[in-house]
Structures are given as C-alpha cells and as structure tokens.
Structure 1
C-alpha cells in the first residue's frame, strides 16, 4: 500500500488533519493534531517490525508522563495501574519496555489502528487527571509503596493498626512502624479535611496510652482547611506538606527514630 493511500485511510478513520511523512526504509512519521496539555504532539510512527507493520508511540507517552509522576506505578497495583491496563485492553494496544504499539492485521486496518492508539494514548495520559475520590485512593497507594521503600529493613510495618481495646476501630493508624527497643512511629496519610481531623483525634487519644512518634504526610497541604491543618500541626510530632517533594526528609526522620537494617511487613 502506497503512502497516499495510507494517508487517505488515516484521514477517513481519524480526521482530515493528518500528514504521513516518509523518514527512511519502512518508516513513516504520522503527524496528527492531537497534543498533550503542554502543547507537545502525540508521537505516532508507522514502521515495520519483522514482517509486520506497527503503529508505535516509540515510548514517548510514558516518557511524557514521567515528567509528572512515577511511571513505575503503572506497572504495580492500585488505581493508576488499573486505568493504564484498562486503556491498553480497551484499545487493543500492546506495551513493551515503555513503548505503546498496535500491530496492523491487514491492509484495511491501518486507519483503525491509528484511531485506537490515539485513544489509548489519551486514556493513559488521563491518569494525571483522575476524579477527586480516585486521586485520594491513589495517594494512599503511592504512600504505601513509598513507605515500604523508605523504612529500615529491620523495622516491622503494620497497616491499619489500632489498639486492641478499640474494637470499633475508631482510632486507626495508617502505618505503625516499630523496631524492638524503640518507640513506634505512627504514620498517617492526610488526603482530606475529615482524614486530618480523624488523625488528630487518633493521636490525642493514643497519647494517653502509648509513647510514640507521630508523622503526618499530606497529599497537598495547601488544599485543606487551615483550622484542620493547625490542629494537626499542634498534635503531630512532624508533618510534611506533600509526599513527592519530601521523600528524603521523610526517610531521614524515620531513620532518626529507628535503626536501619531489615524489613518485615504485616498487613
């Protein structure tokens, strides 16, 4: 199939504002009007791999995402991973080492393949713009992954810990980090005014029974009620305004409280 025929098929399936430019042997750049929020165009390349033609983003989409998030989260568990893999499945798109691509099955499927990969790229990029409730869940997923990277290896981590007398689980600690002979760390993820208030009350209640060091990590401190934040600041030993920009500081604070050697995780 020649380039002119291919271009017509692309225009028929996607939109009229498409240009196909030959860049070498068995390789064409497909220029489309679709862009990311910063103005960069989606990258779509038609090329031959083995005896099959594919349309590929050549890894550009995940590279673009990496400027704003840890793309490793797309390959683990949690909401971002679910959205990523759902987008690939929905639009019959494959992924290999960060590259998104679609194999062309026959001469009549070039246009559909371009349409599908453009939709897949758009959906994958949507992980940055999840609904507010999903973002809250994603923040807790991100916190979980980071905490298990940051804690000393000989520390024991218990998620959703509560005092044995608190049978209704009214005073729950997101992560209890403990090491023999050291006072425990009670760590809270703070992703809403209600969560901040609950964590504050939990700290004040537990202070009557335990000697511990408390850490609060906000999703984005500036988004929340000043009154709630102020109360949390008074109650908590150390707070951080956000997770991504404070990783090293959080690591240092945890290291100051307990030794660093091996890690045991219990759910």
Structure 2
C-alpha cells in the first residue's frame, strides 16, 4: 500500500539527494558545475555556466570531443556525414558544437534546470561516436576515401563522379574518382559493399570495351566482407586493390606508382 502523500515525499527525497550531489564552484568568469551523471570513463559530467543576457550559456570546455579523441580522429567528426550525424544527435537536446569545438547550449534563467538535464544527456550521447564503426556509418566511407585521396594527390587533381568522355552511356558508368596528371587515365573506385563490388566490375568491363588503356584502383571498406565470387570477378577487372580504406599508405604507394609510370 502506498503511504500517504508519497509523491511529495519522493519528490522531496529526490530533490535533496540530487542537490546534495551538485558541486558548484566559481571558475574565472563562469561557474563550474559537476552533475550527478557519469561519463564513460567514470568522471562526473562537468558543465561550465556563463551568464548571458536573459539566461545562461552552457559549455563543456571542449572535454566531450577531447574524450572522443582518445579513440577517434576528431577532425573526421567535424566534416561530412559524421558531422551531420553528430549535429542531429546534439540538436535533439538543444545543443551544438561551436567554432571552438565545444558542445554548447543556451537556456533562459527559468529553464536552467531542465536545460542542464538535456545538456547532460547531449554530452553522454556524444560519447556514442566513439563506438561508431564504418559498418554502422557506411555513408562515411566515401568521405574517408576522398579525404585520403586529397592528402595523397591534392584536391585539384581529383574529379569525383566522373563521366569518361567518348564512352557510350557514360553517365550510367561513372567513375568514383578520376585522378588527373597521370600518363594514362587513373580511376579509383570505392567498394563498401557486395552490391558496389558487382557494379564496379560492370563499370570496369564497360570501360575496357571503349578505352584503349587506363589504370584502376579499387579500395574496399573491408575486403573480407565481399563474397568470393564477387571478389574474384572484380580482381580480374581491376589493376590494383586495397583491402581497407584505413590502408592509406598502401593506397598512396599504388597511386604514386601509377602516376609515375
């Protein structure tokens, strides 16, 4: 049986408990607040409160992305598909990443309590990016491949989604990346899946029928995930293959060899 006035009693107990766990201290021109929420590494979620006109600005002093950097390349989170996903995740809680790499939010004076809880959730959710893999975030594969190619040859030498001139139905047989400046055409294909492996084989076979000479490099998201038959057909059609987009040094070696040839 529920005791009399149980809701008020529970509310009072929770308020007393949570308030007792709050640690607020001055820190320069802001207030540093430790919340009764735990980061994955066991530290309490820490928020800096900076007074603004009509309310407060909530900041994390860059600690969220700093934690992510232990396992991930933070720069990859600030561009392309990963940035879009992080932005959407934070926006669900009224937060965002500012130009200085902080997770920030604003709250009017009267809404500071709920805003702090939402902000704490945003910081904890942001830690999930440490668990993102290329399998879960397949759309980032081409962002990663593009970034590698830019580092290897420079952005001015890359033509993306290239329709090869003088090839029949060229728009239906586009090349993911064409690298300019080589003695012979150099095409790079990204293969994140079995379906893309099959499509790339078809494109290469079509190009072979209409281009006298060209070189091709195929980069897999994970070659072990491609079926044996699909992999064999693609090996017969391509010049060079890289088993993972993470193998940047191997990709650089093959591309530079083809450019120098």
The reply to whether TM is greater than 0.5 is yes
Pair 1:98 & 2:116 matched: no
- 1:89-136 deviation digits (Å, cap 9, x = unpaired): 443324241111234531x33322222212322443455667999723
The structure 2 residue matched to 1:19, chosen from 15, 18, 21, is: 21
* Cα distance in 2 between the residues matched to 1:249 and 1:195: 21
Pair 1:190 & 2:191 matched: yes
Describe how 1:71-220 pairs up with structure 2 within 5 A.
71-76=74-79, 78-94=80-96, 95-106=98-109, 108-127=110-129, 135-152=137-154, 155=157, 157-162=159-164, 164-167=166-169, 169-179=171-181, 182-210=183-211, 211-220=213-222
* 3-state SS in 1 of match to 2:257: helix
Kindly indicate whether structure 1 or structure 2 has the higher relative contact order, using CA contacts under 8 Å at least 6 residues apart: 1
- 1:186-206 deviation digits (Å, cap 9, x = unpaired): 111101101011112222332
Q: Who is 1:262 aligned against?
A: none
Q: Who is 1:56 aligned against?
A: 59
TM-score with structure 1 length normalisation? 0.73
Which stretches in structure 2 are left out of the alignment for 5+ residues? 1-10
Note if contact 1:161-1:175 (Cα within 8 Å) is conserved in structure 2.
no
Note if contact 2:77-2:83 (Cα within 8 Å) is conserved in structure 1.
yes
Query: Cα gap change, 1:253/1:165 in structure 2, threshold over 3 Å: closer, same or farther?
Result: closer
Structure with the higher fraction of residues in helix conformation? 2
Count of aligned positions: 243
* 3-state SS in 2 of match to 1:30: strand
CA-based RMSD of the aligned residues comes to: 3.5
Which stretches in structure 1 are left out of the alignment for 5+ residues? 1-7, 260-267
* Cα distance in 1 between the residues matched to 2:119 and 2:60: 8
TM-score with structure 2 length normalisation? 0.74
Query: Cα gap change, 1:204/1:74 in structure 2, threshold over 3 Å: closer, same or farther?
Result: same
* 3-state SS in 1 of match to 2:168: coil
Note if contact 1:152-1:258 (Cα within 8 Å) is conserved in structure 2.
no
* 3-state SS in 2 of match to 1:83: helix
Q: Who is 1:263 aligned against?
A: none
* 3-state SS in 2 of match to 1:183: coil
